[in-house]
Chains A and B, each alone.
Chain A
Amino acid sequence: MKQATAIALVALVLGGVACGPSQQPTTPAEGKPLKIGVMPKLIGIDFFNATEKGAVQAGKELGVTVDFDGPVTNDVTLQAQMLETWIAKKYDAIAIAPNAPDAIAPVLERARKRGISVITWDADALPDARDFFVNQCTAASVAKSLMDVMVDGIGPDGKYLILTGSLTAANQNIWMAEMEKYRQATYPNLTNLSETPKASEEDQALATQVTADCLKAYPDLEGIFAITSVALPGAAEGLRKAEAADRVFLTGLATPKMMRDYVMDGTVKRFVLWNPVDLGYLAVYAAAAVAKGELEPGATSLTAGRLGDVQVQGTEIILGDPLVFDKDNIGQFDF
């Protein structure tokens, strides 16, 4: 009798297991389309949901099977274990946004040894561990877009400040160096009021506070760059509270979803971000091209569907200039 209960429990566990695969359609047997695994840093956030949309779209256009999955937290060790499974599933190509460049390298190398093409996107792995890296945009192109938007807003001899994440944030520091380079070359009369950027530590409330402080401390301030996706909505809130949007021009980097309200009420006129749908789209095109042997080292361009010819530098595929969002186009994006 007791045994029966126990057996029922096993059946329950196994029943659950057996249901798993049947929910998922398996790959069609005819013609053996390429199988491409696409792994974001984590699943379940707007940004990567948008990249999934692009990846799936590219898969349909190319007639390849695209499996998009990743860990539930941005943990590189979970990515490595999932990749181990993907190697076992014998994907033709893997496109991954690694959470750490070096920790992911051993498993990527193993994948390549087994004949799987490896593409990184969004963030790179050690260059030896992958075939190509789909770079969403170069630091120079981010810097140029931001500066051009600012000059559009405050003119070529305005005065501005930069609000960053933490003072050690690597991406932001590279962008700021490029912004300064571009300013000296193109807009020498534009003035940065503080050599040291203002830090907001990826804390939206702090960004609001710092913005309010800056509005008081720098009476001749005309423009603010908020160059993290947390700093920009925070700064926008500060500007809105101070009702200073008509004398201070705010721009920076953030997702359209976070900025929609501020753009619609005019607090922020224009801001910048690369298009994650295009990023996922290009990652799949690149992965398919490498797997088919159409993209090899030394190539200078890649034809990627609706994106046309995309530039290739060494082993980096450049998505191109970031998008500028404003009142007119922000409604089209839901990430």
Chain B
Amino acid sequence: MIRRLLLSRESFLFYVLAAMFTAFALTTEGFLDGYSLFERSRYWVFAGMIAVPMTFIIATAGIDLSVGAIVAMCGIVLGLLHTDAHWPLALAALAAVAAGFAAGAFNGAVGSYLRVPPLVVTLATMALFRGIAMGLSKARSFHVPDSFQWLNQGDAFRIPGLSGEAVYFPVPLFALLGVVALGWVLMRKSWVGRFTECIGENETAAAFAAIDVRRLKFALYTACGGVCGVAALFYTAQYATAKADAAMGMELEAIASVVIGGTRISGGQGSVIGSLLGLLVIGILRYGLEMAGVRSQNVVIFVGALLIVTAVFNEYMASRKGAKQ
């Protein structure tokens, strides 16, 4: 049991993370600074939240490329309703999340009921939702009040035991941990995760096993849209503004976290904790390299190399597992 836990892919990822952390701490002056690390973590929340439903979707051998566009669209819904229509902020925020669910439901409906491959559907809606955001906002940006910015910029409590400067626990990390916990329970402790992996393993077999494949897939894409809506609130709070060109490339960040986390792109199994660790690996690598003074074009190269190495490693682990069985 313990041996299995110590040798699981998640633990392996954790070792990589720990080793990376130690290497940076030893070589890079200023890396080991609680304040900076927690400040930086605020930027990981959006892609981190989205990586959770993305894990389920990729585990069904699907993909959602439209998540960044949904985040932008939901931000615009929030800004437009609050600034132009003078809705109370809380109501506008609810509407933004609802818009996220609606966008996800659209992806899910076209993908599972009209049987269009998710890559095609979400490639199209990536442009569609971004276009709606542009059209609705007419290229304006919407400022959100300081009270709302607290959502991502706020401090929850002072972290005890750290000497020197006061270090606070960022408010948005609660949301991220909440989404991750919910995702982990659904993936590991409920039928949702089992059925999801079943679909990814063999969709036809899953259907014969009386799993309502279409309904589950529809639900997963809808949930993903909803999480994007929530992420949009935090994103808007961080940057104090909602803009149509927000969250550009967020789909790649989320997907990269999932893939580094060990969820196979061809489906069949998924790990929410793995995705969280994947997010941290990318985040810490970027942060550490920047702290070490590596120029940003070279940072991109390192992150790309990391993706390749983990992808190769994951394939190797999977084939070894297959050989054992």
> Which residues of A are at the interface with B, using a C-beta cutoff of 8 A?
2, 5-6, 9-10, 12-14, 16-18, 20-24, 26, 43-44, 67, 69-73, 75-78, 80-82, 84-85, 87-90, 100, 102-103, 105-106, 110, 168
Chain A residue at minimal CB-CB distance from B290: A85
Nearest-neighbour CB distance to chain B for A90, whole angstroms, equals 7
Q: Are A103 and B291 in contact (CB under 8 A)?
A: no
Q: Which residues of A contact B3 (CB under 8 A)?
A: none
Q: Is B207 an interface residue (CB 8 A)?
A: no
Q: Is B45 an interface residue (CB 8 A)?
A: no
Indicate with 1 or 0, residue by residue over B283-325, a CB within 8 angstroms of chain A CB atoms: 0011111111111111010100110010011001000100000
Q: Is B87 an interface residue (CB 8 A)?
A: no
Q: Are A103 and B241 in contact (CB under 8 A)?
A: yes
Q: Which residues of B contact A2 (CB under 8 A)?
A: 320
Separation of A82 and B306 alpha carbons in the complex (Å): 20
Known: A81-B40, A100-B241. A21 touches B292 (CB 8 A): yes
Q: Are B15 and A17 in contact (CB under 8 A)?
A: no
Q: Which of B139, B141, B294, B305 has the most CB of A within 10 A?
A: B294
Q: Which residues of B contact A21 (CB under 8 A)?
A: 27-28, 292-294
Separation of A251 and B309 alpha carbons in the complex (Å): 53
Nearest-neighbour CB distance to chain A for B13, whole angstroms, equals 11
| Category for how many chain B residues contact A | 35 or more
Q: Are B149 and A26 in contact (CB under 8 A)?
A: no
> Which residues of B are at the interface with A, using a C-beta cutoff of 8 A?
12, 15-16, 19-20, 23-24, 27-30, 33, 35-36, 39-40, 43, 139, 141, 143, 149, 153, 238-241, 243, 246-249, 285-298, 300, 302, 305-306, 309, 312-313, 316, 320
Q: Which residues of A contact B243 (CB under 8 A)?
A: 100, 103
Q: Which residues of A contact B296 (CB under 8 A)?
A: 43, 69-72, 78, 82
Q: Are A10 and B15 in contact (CB under 8 A)?
A: yes
* 4 A-B pairs with the lowest CB-CB distances in the bound complex, closest first: A88-B36, A21-B292, A103-B239, A85-B290
Nearest-neighbour CB distance to chain B for A74, whole angstroms, equals 10
Known: A80-B239, A85-B40. 9 other contacts (CB 8 A): A13-B20, A17-B288, A17-B302, A80-B43, A81-B40, A88-B40, A88-B291, A103-B240, A105-B240
Q: Are B39 and A88 in contact (CB under 8 A)?
A: yes
Nearest-neighbour CB distance to chain A for B248, whole angstroms, equals 6
Q: Which of A26, A44, A77 has the most CB of B within 10 A?
A: A77
Q: Which residues of B contact A5 (CB under 8 A)?
A: 316
Q: Which residues of B contact A16 (CB under 8 A)?
A: 302, 305
